[in-house]
Amino acid sequence: MDEDTTTSNMLRRMSSRTRKVATKMVAALASSDNRTQAALARLEALENDNPGAEMIEINSDDDASLDDEDQVYTKKQSKSTKRKTRQAKALENAKKAPRTFLELLHEANLESLPPHLPSYLRAAVGPPSSTTRRHFCTVCGFTAKYTCVRCGMRFCAIRCQNIHNDTRCLKFVA
Amino acid sequence: MSSNNVVVLDNGAGLIKAGIGGNLDPTAILPNCLARPLSSKKFLHLSDLNATAAFDLTSAAVRRPLDRGYLINPDLQREIWSNLFSNVLKINPSHSSLLLVEPLFNLPSLQRAADELVFEEFGFESLFVADSPSLVHLYEASRSRPSNGVSEQASLVVDCGFSFTHAAPVFQNFTVNYAVKRLDLGGKALTNYLKELVSYRAVNVMDETFIMDDVKEKLCFVSLDVARDLQVARKPGRDNYFRCTYVLPDGVTHTKGFVKDPDEANRCLTSKDGAPKDDMEYPEVTEKAEDRKRVDLTKNEFSLTNERFLVPEMIFRPADLGMNQAGLAECIVRAVNSCHVYLHPVLYESIILTGGSSLFPRFAERLERELRPLVPDDYQVKITTQEDPILGVWRGGSLLASSPDFETMCVTKAEYEELGSARCRRRFFH
Ligand SMILES: [Zn+2]
Ligand SMILES: [Zn+2]
């Protein structure tokens, strides 16, 4: 690897760590029930292959990724076909992007099976018998008693609340 | 030559384990994905785990053929298998049988797609589809000896994998599928959760799948007392024996991340219950001190404390994440309770722990502590850990593939062509 490539790789690395915004979080916080939406988006993101890739760069002119943010795959496709028209891109993506498991599951219509048959749906463990949920401070990880009214994140004490307000609150959004 | 060439393929969502039936270990263990390093325009094959060392995988994007444990992208899987069969295993499918491990409760449409791949794209001579719990049971039961409490009759296989965790009773070598319980958490979610914590608290590592897998594997462990450990993780300086530092690759002097001071990192694992002895000494090595100085200049590192145990903690309390699912101990109890009462004591004393995500230090100990109060007093609870939880399924498959009646259990290409996928599939399950 020559020196230029090395430097540019380093720069890309640095910039990709700082100039990003989570589209899902933006969408979630703009909606009426911010906190629930944000929580759902967060759980969904835990199963993503490239959670970072669903973030878009702030100055990005490539808005194709906004069309279908669930498909990480789409974004990569759109990158490699930058010169094609939007329409051609959309067509290609529709053809190439595989459907997610949840879409296929929906199609399989397991709800219509007789209830005694074992299935993916019936095998789910179900809710816990105790509904108590422990909360951990998003600043320090300690047991958290308080919730930020703006973003729903948890913190444990005034010290962490201040850090949260100063540097963390809506960090992935603003 | 057909009868002595069975390809055993444990096609995990995280790792492929592949080799020849009858062997002790698989020939290849490789990530089931293509990766695109920053320096490449194309997605590349990672032909073995060491190949990950050949590339700088910092910020590499990945494409996986499996989603939530199921094979949803046969085109991508074909690319990966094709490389696997010709360049890694060097086998000719048209002269081989295939033992394919498939996730429980696979959807019929995905089974059809998999069969097409096996018979139409690769042209295997014959196919047998197995599920992982029955193979793990088979393997452990075959090794059964006094020190290993696994009953030959029945066991409860707890498979904590990449996409999910299953508690599956196995009775007389068949998985009791109506009693299986699934928790939708596995290694992938844990790595992503760790990414989220580190990104929120220190440095953005959301793109660092390979690096954060390494951090998780080297530094995370299961706490035996979360409240106590949270208190310790709050302490400043050396009293906080969980604190350790991970150095990110800088792309110049090192392309892999590493634990800055492994001795420091292992302090919390040296004693029995998770608190290190007071009289331990931690000699400073000069070479390490120099390393540290050089590394500090890049500022490309982060330290971890309570993240180390809060991440695997989610397997035991998914509710803390906001998931409406019971934790692992309850998952096991529900699986056992779905079986005939006659089996309950047998299952509780024959729990086999397997899967890569069961490798966190103190996993089995914590599970036993959570499980014991939920199980009737007159039943024993005995958890057996596998010698290698990543290879357990494959080894069971290898054993099955070398049994004398294996060929008769398979569906041949001719039968597939005559009967089609759905009717052939009926043969594999009871
Ligand atoms: Zn705090
Ligand atoms: Zn806030």
Domain parsing of chain A, residue ranges: 134-173
Confidence of residue A16 (pLDDT cuts 50, 70, 90): very low
CA of A145 to the centre of ligand 1 (A): 9
Confidence of residue A53 (pLDDT cuts 50, 70, 90): low
Average pLDDT over residues A133-140: 87
By C-alpha distance, which of B353, B427, B396 is closest to B167? B353
Residue B182 in this model has a pLDDT that exceeds 60 = yes
Residues A133, B319: C-beta atoms closer than 8 Å: yes
Specify the pLDDT at position B105: 95
Select from 3.40.1190.20, 3.90.640.10, 3.40.50.720, 3.20.20.80 the CATH code of B187-316: 3.90.640.10
Pairing of strands B44-45, B383-385: unpaired
Q: What is the model's pTM?
A: 0.83
Confidence of residue A95 (pLDDT cuts 50, 70, 90): low
- Distance of alpha carbon B320 from the chain centroid: 22
Q: What is the DSSP letter of B178?
A: G
Q: Residues A118, B169: contact at Cβ < 8 Å?
A: no
Domains B5-134+390-427 and B143-185+321-385 share a fold: yes
Specify the pLDDT at position B263: 87
Average pLDDT over residues B87-95: 94
pLDDT digits (tens, 9 = 90+) for B43-76: 988 876 566 666 788 889 999 999 999 999 999 9
CA of A34 to the centre of ligand 1 (A): 22
pLDDT digits (tens, 9 = 90+) for B101-124: 999 999 999 999 999 999 999 999
CA of A38 to the centre of ligand 2 (A): 12
Q: Residues B340, B172: contact at Cβ < 8 Å?
A: no
Q: B5-134+390-427 maps to which CATH number?
A: 3.30.420.40
pLDDT digits (tens, 9 = 90+) for B129-149: 999 999 999 999 998 765 566
Q: How close is the nearest chain B Cα to the Cα of A87, in Å?
A: 23
Distance in angstroms between the alpha carbons of the first and the last residue of chain A: 37
- In this complex, the residue of B36, B104, B207 whose CB is nearest that of residue A52 is B207
Write out chain A residues lying below 8 Å of B157, CB-based. none
> Which distant-in-sequence residues (6+ apart) come within 8 Å of B236 by Cβ?
none
Write out chain B residues lying below 8 Å of A142, CB-based. 230, 233-234, 306
The answer to whether B230 faces chain A, any CB pair under 8 Å, is yes
Residue B344 in this model has a pLDDT that exceeds 90 = yes
pLDDT averaged over every residue in chain A = 67
Q: B143-185+321-385, what's its fold? A: Nucleotidyltransferase; domain 5 (3.30.420)
Of the ranges A135-139, A164-168, B177-181, which is most confident?
B177-181
pLDDT digits (tens, 9 = 90+) for B302-339: 999 999 999 999 999 999 988 999 999 999 999 999 99
Domain ranges for chain B: 5-134+390-427, 143-185+321-385, 187-316
Average pLDDT over residues A88-99: 67
By C-alpha distance, which of B172, B105, B95 is closest to B134? B172
Chain B residue nearest residue A133, CA to CA: B320
